[in-house]
Amino acid sequence: MPKIVTARRREDERDRARLYLKSRLMLPTIPLGMVALLAGYGDLVVLWMQDELTPRVLLGSTILFACGAAWGWGHARYERYLLATCPEYLARKQKILDAAKDYKKVKRDMPTAGPDHPGRRFVLAMYAVGILAQCGVTLYYLAQVGAYTAIFLPWAGYFNAKVIVWRELFTRA
């Protein structure tokens, strides 16, 4: 009997973790990605209409989008890893958010530390490298491609890559 209860609890944690990823991370990502895409490519359209769109600007915008997409792909892959190895961490976050929504008190014994898995320090370092690289690429291309393109296209790539990696989360029941 204990095996059935443990398996059911683990399955419930996975479902709660999927709900957290779907409702708190992915649903806001879709409109943010579309707004960023429209703002970034809208600036390129303005440059095209003013006959200022050069191959260098087009290459820079492609690099900005690709860098953002690489960062979003890596982040989504890490979230998939967390869902597979530590669903209790994501389920705990959903439980805390549900308790806050229902104005319930959060239990004191619930740990608030991050997920405990091998390579956690490496992931934190990669987050820092990704953020610094994204800021660096944006600052480098800021004067070449325009402010809206340099700021919004990396985010458009980031959000769209996350949606593409997580698309089966929306298709499964």
Which backbone phi and psi does 53 adopt, to 5 degrees?
-80, 110
- The token duo for 112 is 């608030």
Q: What is the pLDDT of residues 18-58, one digit of tens each?
A: 888 887 777 888 889 899 999 999 999 998 999 988 999 99
DSSP code string of 39-76: HHHHHHHHHHHTT---HHHHHHHHHHHHHHHHHHHHHH
Spatial distance between the Cα atoms of 23 and 117, rounded to a whole number of angstroms: 24
pLDDT at 172: 63
pLDDT at 97: 72
User: Which residue is associated with the tokens 């961490």?
Assistant: 89
pTM above 0.75, yes or no: yes
User: What average pLDDT does the structure give for the chain?
Assistant: 83
pLDDT at 100: 67
pLDDT at 109: 53
Q: What is the pLDDT of residues 42-51, one digit of tens each?
A: 999 998 999 9
Buried b (16+ CB within 10 A) or exposed e, 49-59: eeeebeeebee
pLDDT at 149: 92
Please list the rounded mean pLDDT of every run of 10 residues in the chain (173 residues): 54 79 81 91 91 91 95 90 82 74 60 72 91 94 91 94 83 61
